[in-house]
Structure formats: structure tokens, C-alpha cells
């Protein structure tokens, strides 16, 4: 599979996610957000498996991502609100205040500063254990595993490194060039575009949040569930404080999907 296949797969992902979210709302489900988050994670698993295969992109035949390799887990992560909900739901209630403190430590840093200081994602198992009473593992943050892997944001699912040595050499260097295959990103971006298009149609604000800032905001709020419900109803909530600067805007993602649609209809 090459670019044409990526375009078709991306448009398919967009249509599927948009239809899924719209149907959930029309069905009048009581727990619409729960359904959206769960389904989004399931669909993401399917597409992550497709784009992570050698058949999809021959350059992935030599990709060197492996167990306990977490160099890329030292970057700022953006996610949509349903992705955030899926992530928040994966954190045991007793540990949410602790996660909030870790998030506050990180939200004060800009992306380049975080990279320079090699500040790891709070969900690495060398930073935190999501099993109450169990300590985090001892070890280097760049040799760790994700404790919320099944609930990780779409942005994390699109990361593949062709050469591990480039990750090692660029670690802690904000301006280092590291080769990441482009094709796996296209369907994932299309999924995000589908989610944002559907959210806009449903009257929800389709913005992208900084994962750390958003988790800090939720942990500090007396009613995190109410924050999510308010957002679903189209209200302005505290999550606007966590909007990610420089994230793709809905209209930019819509242009991406328009291009996908035109490519598909022209037979490419």
C-alpha cells in the first residue's frame, strides 16, 4: 500500500468516525460520551493495526519501535475531548489527584523546554503505577511502557520511528530531525477530522486540548464528570483553558478530508 491506499483508508476512517458519533447522539443514548470514547478507542485500534503493518507502508518493515522504547513519550500530546474522556476514565479515581499534580508539573513547561529537560509522559510506568498501592517501576524514562496504552490518544497511535538511533541521538534536542513515516499519520489525522466534524454537527466545541493541561484542569475541578457533560451540551467549560495552541483547526482538518474525498472520487 502506498499514498493512494492511505487516502482511501483515511477517507474511510473519516466517514466511519463521523457516522459513529452522529448515530450515538441520534440514538438518544444516556451515556453518549462514554459510547463515543469507547468506540473511538476501538476504531483507533483497528486503524492503528492497519497502518502499522508492512503491507501498508514498506518503510515500516524496518520500524524499530519496540517494548520499553519510549523516546517519543517526552513530547506534548494533543487530543480531542472524547479522547480525553477515554483517558480520564482509565485512571482509577483514587489516583486522579496524583495524576493532577504530575500534570501541573508538566503544564508549566513549553514543548521545547519539556524536550530539553527530557520530561517524560506521566503515564509511563517508571513515573506512575495505576495499580493502587503499587510503586512505579525503577528505570529510565526512555525505557518504559505506557500504563494507559489501550486508551492512549490518536496522536500517540500514529508515531512510528524508522531508526531508533535517530531517536536516541535526538533525545532532549528540540530541533533534532527524526524520520517518522508520513503514511501512518494520514488515516489517524482523518479520524481526528471525522471526530471534529461530527462534534461540530452535534453542537460541541471541536477543539484540541493539551493533554497535561486538560488533566490538571479536570483534577482540580470538583465535578470532572460535569465538565464533560457541559461540553457535550455545547457549554463553555474550564477545558477551554487547556486548548492547544498551534493545533489543527476544524477548517484545516476539513480541507484535509475534502482533499481525501476528491482523491477518492477521481479514482485515485
Residue 139: which region, alpha, beta or left (left: phi > 0; alpha: psi -120 to 50)? left
What is the rounded distance in angstroms from the CA atom of residue 163 to the CA atom of residue 161?
6
Q: Helix, strand, or coil here: 122?
A: coil
Q: Of the candidates 208, 215, 210, 212, which has an alpha carbon nearest to the alpha carbon of residue 106?
A: 212
Where are the extended beta strands (E) located within the chain?
Answer: 78-80, 208-210
Please classify residue 108 by burial: count the beta carbons closer than 10 Å to its beta carbon, then call 0-12 exposed, 13-18 middle and 19+ buried: exposed
All three cell numbers of 212: 497535561
Angle at 123 between CA 239 and CA 178, to 5 degrees: 95
Rg of the chain, C-alpha, whole Å: 18
User: What was the pLDDT predicted at 69?
Assistant: 86
User: What was the pLDDT predicted at 1?
Assistant: 44
User: What was the pLDDT predicted at 245?
Assistant: 76
User: What was the pLDDT predicted at 144?
Assistant: 92
For 160, phi then psi, to 5°, come to -135, 135
Give the largest Cα separation in the chain, rounded: 57
Query: Each residue's pLDDT tens digit in the chain (268 positions)?
Result: 455 665 666 667 667 767 776 676 666 544 566 666 666 666 666 666 665 555 545 555 556 677 888 888 888 898 888 889 889 988 998 889 888 888 888 877 777 888 888 889 999 999 999 887 888 898 888 889 999 988 888 888 777 777 788 888 888 888 887 767 666 666 677 777 777 777 777 777 788 899 999 999 999 999 998 898 888 777 888 998 898 876 666 566 566 656 655 654 554 4
Name residue, grid cell 499534580: 101
Name residue, grid cell 485515485: 268
| C-alpha 1, offset from chain centre | 24
User: What was the pLDDT predicted at 48?
Assistant: 62
Name residue, grid cell 536516541: 168
What is the rounded distance in angstroms from the CA atom of residue 147 to the CA atom of residue 76?
17
- pTM of the prediction? 0.80
User: What was the pLDDT predicted at 221?
Assistant: 93
What is the rounded distance in angstroms from the CA atom of residue 74 to the CA atom of residue 116?
9
Amino acid at each position: 500500500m502506498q499514498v493512494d491506499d492511505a487516502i482511501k483508508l483515511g477517507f474511510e476512517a473519516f466517514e466511519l468516525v463521523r457516522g459513529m458519533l452522529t448515530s450515538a447522539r441520534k440514538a438518544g443514548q444516556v451515556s453518549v460520551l462514554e459510547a463515543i470514547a469507547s468506540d473511538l478507542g476501538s476504531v483507533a485500534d483497528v486503524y492503528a493495526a492497519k497502518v502499522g503493518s508492512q503491507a501498508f507502508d514498506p518503510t515500516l518493515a524496518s520500524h524499530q519501535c519496540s517494548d520499553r522504547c519510549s523516546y517519543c513519550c517526552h513530547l506534548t500530546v494533543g487530543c480531542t475531548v472524547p479522547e480525553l474522556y477515554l483517558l480520564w476514565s482509565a485512571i482509577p479515581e483514587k489516583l486522579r489527584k496524583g495524576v493532577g499534580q504530575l500534570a501541573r508539573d508538566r503544564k508549566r513547561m513549553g514543548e521545547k523546554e519539556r524536550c530539553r529537560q527530557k520530561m517524560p509522559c506521566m503515564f509511563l510506568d517508571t513515573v506512575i503505577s495505576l495499580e493502587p498501592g503499587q510503586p512505579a517501576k525503577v528505570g529510565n524514562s526512555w525505557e518504559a511502557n505506557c500504563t494507559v496504552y489501550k486508551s492512549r490518544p490518536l496522536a500517540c497511535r500514529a508515531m512510528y520511528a524508522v531508526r531508533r538511533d535517530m531517536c536516541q541521538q535526538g533525545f532532549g534536542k528540540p530541533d533534532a530531525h527524526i524520520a517518522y513515516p508520513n503514511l501512518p499519520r494520514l488515516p489517524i489525522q482523518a479520524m481526528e477530522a471525522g471526530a471534529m466534524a461530527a462534534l461540530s454537527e452535534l453542537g460541541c466545541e471541536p477543539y484540541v486540548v493539551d493533554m497535561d493541561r486538560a488533566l490538571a484542569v479536570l483534577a482540580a475541578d470538583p465535578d470532572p464528570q460535569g465538565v464533560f457533560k457541559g461540553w457535550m451540551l455545547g457549554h463553555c467549560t474550564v477545558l477551554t483553558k487547556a486548548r492547544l495552541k498551534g493545533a489543527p483547526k476544524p477548517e484545516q482538518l476539513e480541507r484535509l478530508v475534502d482533499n481525501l474525498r476528491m482523491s477518492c472520487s477521481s479514482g485515485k
